[in-house]
Every structure is written in structure tokens, then in C-alpha cells.
Structure 1
Amino acid sequence: MTLLIVGATGHLGSQLLTQATRTGRTVTATHHRRTPTHHPHIHWTPLDLRSPHQVHTLITTLRPTAIINAASRPHDWPTTAQGPGHLARAAATTGAHLVHVSSDAVFSGHAPSYDETAHPDPLTPYGAAKAAAETVVTALHPTTAIARTSLILGDDSPHEHRVRDLANGTTTGALFTDDLRCPVHVHDLAAALLELTDPAHTGIHHLAGPHALSRHELGVLIARHRGLPTTLPRARRAEVGPPGPLEIRLDSTRTQRRLTTTLRGARDFLT
């Protein structure tokens, strides 16, 4: 199997590379702004996901068996909303199986929980971009596996960085007590995504942990796990903003039944 990982220099992309190379797969990885680290078993290639010509040329030349799109630029509509469409069109042309990483940001948080049958109703520009991407990849390449996930932890993630800086007093701000998500460990998420490269997996999948926690609850767990002070500043997002969804409980039960990878909850991997 030839695997193409798009957005391979990011937090999730890096873990995908680590796990994919351990299984002996032939891996090509793309980078855009970050300089990649040399690896003897990875072929790196630059790619601007906003360019349909670059995307088409790469995929029709490489002809990968499977593609994982792990690229993420929250404030860039062309990359987030339109880029996946370029991938889907080229993948459909060559017959490659596409796994597109989406987000729980496609939901408003107004429902008690969201399973794979729930329809997107985003409140933020990022959520709207992710929802648009889901629509376009499904239209252009109907057998795409769309994997919605939540807050990604592990390997010193951005959220863990923030908790450490707040605990040490090296930054200002607060952690929200009313902003709930279902965190997932990056190792579990990467393993699950690699399972989804099997063409038998199509349609919507939810890949999140089973524990819904507020940003503040999660921060306390992280601080305790790292031996840091657990008295962390708190605030309510509903009062201080920015506007956006509050409680998003992503229900991954249906997807979990189909996978061998266990998606652990934050209370499990931070104990």
C-alpha cells in the first residue's frame, strides 16, 4: 500500500507518520510552511492544498492507494474548505481511498450529543469550513471516509502547552468551565485513522474519547498528571467569549464497534 499523508508536519500528521512507517507502509508526506524532519522511510514533497493543479499533479503522478488528509489551518477557508475538494476530485480520478479528518466544530452544541447520523449546524467560521469540506468530498468522492474528531491531546499538544504555561504563571488567561469536549489521545486517533484507510470504511465516523470534560477539568487532569499546580484560572466562555459552541459531546460508539483501536477517554490516559 502506498499511503499519502497530507499535512504531515502537524501534531496529528507527525503521529500518523510514526505509526505508518512502523507497519512498513510506503509513505509519502506533504508539507507546506513547516520544514519537515528527515526520515529514511518517508518521501517528503511540498504541497499547497489550495492549488488544484498541484494536488492533481501529485496524486495522478504518485497514484497512492490511500490518502489521509490531516491538514489543518483554522483561519484559512481555501485550505480548510476548498482544499479537501481538490483532494477528493483527484482521488476519485485515480481510485485512491480518501480519509478526510473533520471536527466536532461542525456542530452547534445545542443537542445533548452527536452521533454519526447528526447533521452539521456550525456556529463558527471554522466549523462552517469543516462542514463545507464534508459536503464537497462526499459529492466528489462518495466512498470517502470522513472522520470527525475532538480535542487532540498527547505528545505535548497545544492544549497541554497552555495548561503548563498557566500552571507555571508564564502566560495569562483562563480555562473555560462551560466549554466541554470529548478529548482523544493522538496515538489512538492516528491508529484509528490508519484503520480507516481500508476501503471498506466509508461515510461518517466519529473518533473521540468517551469522556466529556470542560477545558478546566481537563486542565486539572493534565496538571496533576505532570506534577504541576492544579489551581488553574477559570472563566466561563458564555460570559467572556469568543462566541461559539459550548457543550459538544461526540458519540463515537458506533464507530468504536467497527475498529480494533480503543479510543481512550482523558480520565484513562491522564491517570
Structure 2
Amino acid sequence: MTVLVAGASGFLGAEVCRQAVAAGERVVGTYHSGVVEIAGVEAHRLDVTDRAAVRDLVARIRPTVVIGTPYRYGDWAVTADGAAHIAYAAAEVGARLVHISSDALHAGRSEPYGDDEPPTPIFAYGAAKAAAETAVRVIDPAAALVRTSLILGERSKQIQLCRDALAGRAALFTDELRCPIDVDDLAGAVLELAGSDYAGTLNVAGADAVSRAELGLLVARREGLDPTLLKTTTGVEVGVVRPTEVRLDFTRATALLRTRLRGVRELLAV
């Protein structure tokens, strides 16, 4: 296969590139403000908000698979319009599309969300992710849309935020619950889907539902830091409007994929 990873300079995009190269695929990665320094990846600078540029690059590469990972928090043009441009260009060349979505498009509730539940966004980023999904599904009904959660890894923003909260430089919410997933597991699942004919939305998340504050305590235990130093707050206290409890039911993904979706407690076990 020729795999085109849109957003290869990002945390997930880079891991998808590494695993695809290791599998012996030809890998092309795009970047905008970051850099792509992965051996075996052919890198191209691309502004996904430029529809003509996206179509031109995809037409020249003619990939077998396109994996859309780019996003920019608070930027509708990148998150929503960019996803539509990628989907349109992939459809023009007949490429298999795997689009990366997010649990942020749900409003939050105590019951887990199923794979096929419609978006219920309550803040701007969630609305942008919902719009992206809508565009992708209209343009390419055969595409796979991966709804995932907080992405973890040694260099992830989520783990660094926990370290910052333990050092008093940030605060973690006690009232925001998610299902964090390891970047290796997520990338493996994405590449499995790239080689399948699965169409529609699929929840791909970790086995454990934890609050951001609980995640911070797990990081403290693993790294031998004092958990009493963890600084916490709530969304209500700081006036943030975001989903609170968002659990993803990933039963379907477990049955469909070979990749094991580990829980955060296993990932951060001492």
C-alpha cells in the first residue's frame, strides 16, 4: 500500500507513520507547522485548509489509503473544513479513508456511548469534530470514522499536563471523565481499519474510564512523585463548558480488531 498520513507531525500521525513503515508500506506524511523526522517517510508541507493544494497533492501521490489525523483545537478551518478537503481528495482517487474523530462531540452522560450514536456537541471543538464527521460521511460513505479519547504516550500532552499539575503549574479536572488510550494501540487499530472494509463510526478507546485527576494520580504513582502535590479543580470552578462524563463502549472494536485496547491502569502500572 501507499499510505498517506495527513498530520504526520502530530502525536498520533507520527506513530501511524512509524508503524506503517515498519510494516513495509510506502508512507507519505504531511505537516504544516511541525516537522516530520521519521526514517522512511516522504514528507510534504500541506495546508489542509487549502482545498486545491490538498487535491493536487493527493492526485500526485495517488495513495491506496488516506488517514486523516490533522486538527487544531479552536480552529474550525483545520478541524472541520480540512477533514472535508481530505475526504474529497481521497474520494477523487478512490483511496480508502480512515478519519480520526473524537469523543469531544458528545455532550456527556453517565451511560457509555455506542458507536452509532449521533453527535451532541456542547462546545466549539466538539461541534467542529461533529461537522467533520458529517462532511466525511456525505463525501465517502465507505470511510471508517474512529471516535477516540485522550491519547497517551511518554511524549503526549496528556501525560505532560499531569506532570505539570504535580508540579503546581497546572490543574486537573476532577469532573471530566474519559477513556484514555495508548498511542501505540490507537495507531495499530487505525492501520487495521485501513486494511479493512469497515464503514461508519467506531469507538476505539481504552478499557478504563478515569477522570483527569485520577490520571494524574496514576502518573504520580508510576513516576514516584508525591500525589498530595497534585493540583485539581473542576470545570464549574474555572467556568469551562466541556463534556463531563464521556465513556465510549468499544465492544464492537474489540470484536473487530486484533489490536488489544489496553486500559490506563495497565499502561501506567508500576
Tell me the TM-score normalised to structure 2 length.
0.96
Query: Is residue 178–residue 247 contact of structure 2 (8 Å, CA) maintained in 1?
Result: yes
* CA RMSD between the two structures: 1.2
SS of equivalent residue, structure 1 residue 108 = coil
Q: Summarize the alignment of residues 11-160 of structure 1 with structure 2, pairs less than 5 Å apart.
A: 11-37=11-37, 39=39, 41-110=40-109, 112-160=111-159
1:212 alignment partner AA: A
The separation in 1 between residues aligned to 2:254 and 2:157, in whole angstroms, is 26
SS of equivalent residue, structure 1 residue 102 = strand
SS of equivalent residue, structure 1 residue 211 = coil
Query: Hey, what does 1:251 align to over in structure 2?
Result: 249
Query: Is residue 97–residue 199 contact of structure 1 (8 Å, CA) maintained in 2?
Result: no
Identify which range, 157-166 or 214-223, moves more after superposition.
157-166
Please say if 1:212 is aligned against 2:206. no
2:17 alignment partner AA: L
Query: Is residue 88–residue 140 contact of structure 1 (8 Å, CA) maintained in 2?
Result: yes
Question: Could you report, residue by residue, the CA deviation over 1:53-84 in whole angstroms, capped at 9, with x for unpaired residues?
Answer: 01100111111000111112011101101111
SS of equivalent residue, structure 1 residue 210 = coil
Instruction: Using the aligned pairs only, state the percent identity.
Output: 45
1:21 alignment partner AA: V
Query: Is residue 210–residue 251 contact of structure 1 (8 Å, CA) maintained in 2?
Result: no
The separation in 2 between residues aligned to 1:66 and 1:38, in whole angstroms, is 19
Sort the Cα spacing of 1:224 and 1:111 in 2 relative to 1 into closer, same or farther, 3 A.
Answer: closer
The separation in 2 between residues aligned to 1:58 and 1:209, in whole angstroms, is 34
Question: Could you report, residue by residue, the CA deviation over 1:9-55 in whole angstroms, capped at 9, with x for unpaired residues?
Answer: 1111111111111111100000101132252x110011100011011
Sort the Cα spacing of 1:144 and 1:191 in 2 relative to 1 into closer, same or farther, 3 A.
Answer: same
Question: Could you report, residue by residue, the CA deviation over 1:184-233 in whole angstroms, capped at 9, with x for unpaired residues?
Answer: 00010010001010241211111101211011111100111112221211
The separation in 2 between residues aligned to 1:140 and 1:19, in whole angstroms, is 28
Question: Could you report, residue by residue, the CA deviation over 1:148-196 in whole angstroms, capped at 9, with x for unpaired residues?
Answer: 1001111221121122122234x1x321111100000001001000101
1:93 alignment partner AA: E
SS of equivalent residue, structure 2 residue 115 = coil
The separation in 2 between residues aligned to 1:110 and 1:21, in whole angstroms, is 39
Query: Hey, what does 1:195 align to over in structure 2?
Result: 192
Query: Is residue 29–residue 36 contact of structure 2 (8 Å, CA) maintained in 1?
Result: no
SS of equivalent residue, structure 1 residue 196 = helix
Tell me the TM-score normalised to structure 1 length.
0.96
SS of equivalent residue, structure 2 residue 56 = helix
Question: Could you report, residue by residue, the CA deviation over 1:102-144 in whole angstroms, capped at 9, with x for unpaired residues?
Answer: 0000100035110112110001100000000000010011111
Query: Hey, what does 1:179 align to over in structure 2?
Result: 176
The separation in 1 between residues aligned to 2:23 and 2:38, in whole angstroms, is 18
Structure 1 portions without partners, runs of 5+: none
Match of 1:263 among 261, 264, 267: 261
The separation in 1 between residues aligned to 2:239 and 2:147, in whole angstroms, is 24
The separation in 2 between residues aligned to 1:233 and 1:126, in whole angstroms, is 25
Query: Hey, what does 2:225 align to over in structure 1?
Result: 228
Shift of 1:243: 1.0
1:196 alignment partner AA: L
